[in-house]
Amino acid sequence: MKSKASKELFLPDFDVLVNKSPIPLNAELQLIRITVDEDVNIPSMFTLEFAGLDERPLPDIPLIDKPNLFEIGGEITVKLGYHHGKIEPVIIGEITALEPEFHFQLPPSLKVRGYDRRHRLLRGRKTRTFLNKTDSQIATQIAQEAKLTPQVINSKVKHEYVLQANQTDWEFLQARARQIQYEVVVEDKKLFFRPVGNNKPQIMTLTFMDDLLEFYPRVSAMGQVDEITVQGWDPLLKKQKIVGRGRKEVSKMGGKKSGAAQSQKAFSKATGVSISHPIRTQQEADQLANANFNAGVLSFITGEGVCHGRTDLKAGKVIKIDGDRIGKQYRGQYYVTAVNHRLNARTSHYGPGGYYTHFTVQRNAF
C-alpha cells in the first residue's frame, strides 16, 4: 500500500471522548500531549496530559475538581490524525489512574492514564484447572468472564489437564499463548487469541526519507538454532515417551535465508531442547516445538523506527520498510510488536508540536 502520509500537511489533530462524549472545549484547550502505547505483549496504555491555563485558587480547579469528567473506570476513546486527513481511533480503554500536579510557581496540571480492557485480566489471582480443552477454548472462557467478546482462532490441540496456579488471568493466558506462538490482543471489547501473524500480507510501506524518518535494525545470531526438540516424560513408566521437532518457519517474510540457516552456515548446527512443560500427546509436542522454533527465529532481526504519525500502523501487523538509502538486506517485511503514538498539541516545555509514531519490529530472514 502506497504511503499517503507525505501528502498530508503535518498539523496534528485529535478527538478525545469520555464515555462516548467529546471532552468540553476548555479541557481540549488544556490538553497538551497525548501518548498511546500499543503492544502485543502487554496491555496498551494511554496518557493524557493537561496543563492549566490559569491560576484559579484552590479548591476550584478546572478538570481536577470537575465532577463526572475523568473518573476511575471511565471509558476513553483517543482519535488522532491531521487537520487535512481523517482522525481515526487508536485506543479505546478505561481510566485507571489520575495524577494531578501542584507546584507553587505553576498552574495545577493533570495526567489521566488508562489501559485497554486487557487490564481487567490482571485483577486478582486464581488457582483452577481446565480439563479436556484447547487453548482457544480456555481463552474463550476467560474472555467471557471478563465481559469481553472472544475472537479466537482454533488452536486445535486438546489438553487433558491444564493448571492455572496462583496466576492472574493475564499471566496465565499469556503463558498459554507463548507456548503455541499465539498472541492476546484486545480492541475495544473484543479479545483476540490468534497466531502470531508474521506470515500475513503487509498492510503498508514506510519509505525512508519520505514518511519513515529513522530506522535502527539489529541482527543477532545469539539464540538461533536450526531445530527445537520437545521431549515428553512418562512418570509412570519412567522413560521418555514423546518427542516433537520444530525446524520450519511459518514464513520467511520475503527473505531467502532464515536466521537459523545463516547461523548454521556461519558456526555449526545447533539444537535446542525443551523439557519445561508436561507433554501428553504427539500433537502437543509438535505444536510446542514449532512454536518455540518460530518464536526464536523471529528474533533474528529486531529494530526500532520513527515515522510521521500513522494511525493505521498497528502492533500485530506486517509492514514493509523501503527506500534507496536503506541497505538492500534491511528492506522488506517486518512484524510490528509495539507502536507508540506521540502527539504534542502545541509547543510547550514538553516539546514542539507534532505527531510522530515510534515502533518496534522483528524479522526472521534476509
Give the model's confidence band at 63: pLDDT under 50 very low, under 70 low, under 90 confident, else very high: confident
pLDDT value of position 239: 65
Residue where the block lists cell 490468534: 194
Give the model's confidence band at 59: pLDDT under 50 very low, under 70 low, under 90 confident, else very high: very low
pLDDT value of position 6: 45
Q: What is the spatial distance between Cα 210 and Cα 231, in angstroms, rounded to a whole number?
A: 49
Which of 191, 177, 150 is CA-nearest to residue 43? 191
18 pLDDT more than 80: yes
Sign of the dihedral defined by the CA atoms of residues 168, 172, 173, 177, in that order: positive
In DSSP terms, 167 is beta-bridged to 126
62 pLDDT more than 70: no
CA distances from residue 347 to 33, 343, 344, 353, 355 in whole angstroms, order as listed: 10, 11, 7, 5, 12
- Amino acid code (one letter) for 268: S
Contact 159/132 with Cβ under 8 angstroms? yes
pLDDT value of position 347: 57
167 pLDDT more than 60: yes
Give the phi and the psi of residue 350 in degrees, each rounded to 5. Answer: -80, -15
* Cβ-based neighbour number of residue 235 at 10 Å: 8
pLDDT value of position 125: 98
The answer to whether the bond into 59 is cis (omega within 30° of 0) is yes
Q: What is the spatial distance between Cα 137 and Cα 156, in angstroms, rounded to a whole number?
A: 9
Strands 126-134 and 75-82: unpaired
pLDDT value of position 103: 82
Average pLDDT over residues 125-138: 98
What does pTM read for this prediction? 0.90
- Tens-place pLDDT, residues 207-237: 999 999 999 999 999 989 999 999 876 666 6
Q: What is the spatial distance between Cα 244 and Cα 283, in angstroms, rounded to a whole number?
A: 8
Instruction: Identify the H or E element spanning 139.
Output: helix 135-145
87 pLDDT more than 70: yes
What is the chain's mean pLDDT, rounded?
Answer: 90
- DSSP-derived 3-state class of residue 238: coil
Residues with Cβ within 8 Å of 122's Cβ and at least 6 positions away in sequence, in order, are 43, 168, 169, 170
Q: What is the spatial distance between Cα 90 and Cα 111, in angstroms, rounded to a whole number?
A: 18
Average pLDDT over residues 197-216: 96
Top-ranked range on mean pLDDT: pick from 7-21, 78-92, 238-252: 78-92
